[in-house]
Amino acid sequence: MPETTRSFGAGFWRLADPKISLASFASLFLGAAAAAAGGPLHWGWLAVTVAGIFALEVAKNASGEVFDYDSGTDLAIRPEDRSPFSGGKRVLVDGLLSRGETWAIAVAGYALSVAAGLGIVAFREPRVLWIGLAGVACAYFYHAPPLRLAYRGLGELAVALCYGPLIAAGAYLVQRGELPVGIMVLGIPLGLLIGAFLIINEFPDYLADRGSGKRTLVVRLGRVGGSRLFALVVGSALLWSLLLPIAGMPLPLLLGLLAAAPAVAAVRTLLRSPEVTAAIVPAQGQALLAFLLYAVGAGIGLLLGA
C-alpha cells in the first residue's frame, strides 16, 4: 500500500458516504415528521438519535469494508463495473486507510452508537433498547460471520426492515413515548424503496459477488430475474403508498407518490439493460431519488394532515 495514497480524512469521508447515509436519514425524517404531527419535538433527543444512527452507519460501512475486502469481493470488481453507488467504499482497495485504521473507525462508531442508545434508554425511553439492539445486530452481521446476511441473500430483507419501519419507529418512540402500529405501516413503503435501491446496487457487483460467494438476491436470481424482482418491489412500494389513505391515514400522505416518477424510470431502465453498468448508473440515482421523495412527501403529508 503506497504511503502517498493514504488519507485518513478522505477515507473517513468515503465510509460516511452521504449518498448511502441518506437512507437512514430518510427514515429518521419520516419518524420525526410523524412525531411532530402529534406534538412538539424534543430537539435535543432528536440530535442524540441522529448522532447515534450516523455513528452506526459509519461503523457498519467500516466493518463491512474489511469483511468484503477479505472475501475478495471488492478486489474482484472490474473497472467497467464501478459505480458511485455500489462496489464498496474501496478505502482498503485504494489504500486510503490501513486495516487497523478501518477497524478503529468501526469500533469507535459502534461505541458511539451504543453510547447514544444507552443514553436514550437510561434518560428518555427504555423501550427503545430492543430497537437499538436489533439495529446494531443488523449493521454488524450484515457482513460479519456467523450470520453474514448479505452473503446469504438476507441482506435485502434486513435493509428493508431496518431502514423502513425500524428507524422510523425508533425515532417516533423516542419523541412520543409510544409506538402505534400506524408508524410501522407508514415505514413499509420506505423500506421497500430502500430495499429496491440495494437490489439495483447489486447489479454492477454481480460478477464480483458471484465469484466471491456473496449470494445476494441478484446473484441467486441472475440479472434478468433480479431486474424483475426490482420492478416487483418498486411496484409493491407504490401500491402500498396508494393504499395508506384507504387504511385511514391522512390523505396528504399521497404526496409520498412523488416517488413514482423516478421509481418507474429506474424500473424501465433496469429492465432494458440489466447487464450494462454504464446504463444502470442513472437508474441507481433515480432509485435513490425515489426513496428520498417518498420520505419527504409522506413526511410533509403527515404534517399537513395533522
* 3 pLDDT more than 50: no
Residue 109 contacts residue 55 (beta carbons within 8 Å): yes
Q: Indicate the residue type of 60.
A: K
Work out the average pLDDT over 169-197.
Answer: 95
Q: Indicate the residue type of 106.
A: A
Contacts of residue 226, Cβ cutoff 8 Å, sequence gap at least 6: 199, 202, 203, 206, 217, 218, 274
Return d(Cα 235, Cα 294) in angstroms, integer: 13
Residue 38 DSSP label: T
Instruction: Dump pLDDT digits (tens) for 30-86.
Output: 999 999 999 999 999 999 999 999 999 999 999 999 999 999 998 999 999 999 988
* 1 pLDDT more than 60: no
C-alpha cell at 54: 450516523
Domain that holds residue 196: 3-305
* 174 pLDDT more than 70: yes
Q: Tell me the percentage of the chain whose pLDDT exceeds 70.
A: 99
* 111 pLDDT more than 90: yes
CA dihedral sign, ordered 118, 120, 122, 123: positive
C-alpha cell at 212: 466471491
CA angle 234, 236, 239 (to 5 degrees): 110
Return d(Cα 293, Cα 244) in angstroms, integer: 16
Residue 210 DSSP label: H
User: Rounded to a whole number, what is the distance in angstroms from the first to the last CA of the chain?
Assistant: 56
Instruction: Dump pLDDT digits (tens) for 217-238.
Output: 999 999 999 999 999 999 999 9
- For residue 43, the tally of other CB atoms under 10 A from its CB is 10
* Residue 156 pLDDT class (50, 70, 90 cuts): very high
285: left (phi over 0), alpha (psi -120 to 50) or beta: alpha
Contacts of residue 7, Cβ cutoff 8 Å, sequence gap at least 6: 96
Return the CATH number at 41. 1.10.357.140
Return d(Cα 181, Cα 58) in angstroms, integer: 30
Return d(Cα 295, Cα 142) in angstroms, integer: 24
Residue 91 DSSP label: T
* 171 pLDDT more than 70: yes
Of 220, 305, 206, nearest to 255 by C-alpha is 305
Domain count, the chain: 1
The pLDDT value given to residue 4: 43
DSSP characters for 233-284? HHHHHHHHHHHTGGGT--GGGGGGGGGHHHHHHHHHHHHH-TT-HHHHHHHH
* Residue 5 pLDDT class (50, 70, 90 cuts): confident
